[in-house]
C-alpha cells in the first residue's frame, strides 16, 4: 500500500495516511452541512499520522470529526474505537488518484444533483449496519 500526504487549507495541519481503496461520497445531513456539499472521503483505517493541532467535535454516538484549529478545514471523521479514519479526499496532495467507489446515505441526497455512473448506493440503515457492533 502506498502512503499519501495531505494538509489543511493553511498548512498548519499536515498528515500522512495509507488509503484502503477509493473514494466514498456521503450525502447525509451532517456531511453536507460540514462540507457545504457532498463529502468525498477516503478510508485510511488507523494509519493517519497528524502533525499540527486539530480540534475534535463529537458529531455522533460513534464518531468524531476533526478540524484544523487555525483555518477550520474539516479533515477527518474518526470512529470512536479508532479503527476507521475517513480522510477528506480533497485534503490529500493528489486527490485525483481516487476512484469513486460508492455513495452513502443516498436517501438524504437532495434532488438538485446526481453523480453520474453506476456504483453501490447505500441507504443510511445499510451504512450503519456495516459499522454496528455484532449482536450476541
Give the range of the structural domain holding residue 96, as residue numbers without chain letter: 4-129
How far CA 69 is from CA of 56, 76, 81, in Å, comes to: 9, 13, 23
Kindly calculate the radius of gyration of the chain based on its CA atoms and give it in whole angstroms.
Answer: 15
Q: Is residue 134 part of a domain?
A: no
Closest CA to 88 of 44, 133, 33: 44
Is 116 buried (19+), middle (13-18) or exposed (0-12) by CB count in 10 A?
A: exposed
Q: Which residues fall within 8 angstroms of residue 37, CB to CB, at 6 or more apart?
A: none
pLDDT tens, the chain, 136 aa long: 699 999 999 999 999 999 999 999 999 999 999 888 899 999 999 999 999 999 999 998 889 999 999 999 999 999 999 999 999 999 999 999 999 999 999 999 999 999 999 999 999 999 888 866 666 6
Is 83 buried (19+), middle (13-18) or exposed (0-12) by CB count in 10 A?
A: exposed
Domain count of the fold of the chain:
1
What's the confidence (pLDDT) of residue 132?
63
Q: Is residue 136 part of a domain?
A: no
List, in sequence order, every beta strand (DSSP E) within the chain: 4-7, 14-17, 23-26, 39-43, 49-51, 54-58, 63-68, 74-79, 85-88, 100-104
What's the confidence (pLDDT) of residue 26?
95
| Residues 86/44, Cβ–Cβ less than 8 Å | yes
CATH number at residue 70: 2.170.150.70
Q: Is residue 123 part of a domain?
A: yes
Q: Which residues fall within 8 angstroms of residue 96, CB to CB, at 6 or more apart?
A: none
Question: What pairs with residue 40 in β-bridges?
Answer: 25
Q: Is residue 60 part of a domain?
A: yes
Q: Is residue 135 part of a domain?
A: no
What's the confidence (pLDDT) of residue 124?
93
Amino acid at each position: 500500500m502506498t502512503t499519501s500526504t495531505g494538509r489543511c487549507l493553511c498548512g498548519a495541519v499536515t498528515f500522512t495516511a495509507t488509503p484502503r481503496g477509493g473514494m466514498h461520497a456521503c450525502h447525509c445531513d451532517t456531511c453536507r452541512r460540514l462540507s457545504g456539499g457532498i463529502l468525498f472521503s477516503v478510508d485510511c483505517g488507523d494509519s493517519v499520522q497528524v502533525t499540527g493541532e486539530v480540534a475534535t467535535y463529537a458529531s455522533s454516538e460513534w464518531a468524531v470529526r476533526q478540524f484544523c484549529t487555525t483555518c477550520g478545514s474539516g479533515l477527518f471523521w474518526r470512529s470512536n474505537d479508532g479503527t476507521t479514519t475517513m480522510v477528506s479526499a480533497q485534503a490529500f496532495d493528489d486527490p485525483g488518484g481516487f476512484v469513486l467507489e460508492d455513495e452513502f446515505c443516498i436517501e438524504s441526497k437532495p434532488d438538485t444533483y446526481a453523480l453520474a455512473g453506476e456504483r453501490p448506493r447505500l441507504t443510511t440503515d445499510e451504512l450503519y449496519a456495516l459499522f454496528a457492533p455484532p449482536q450476541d
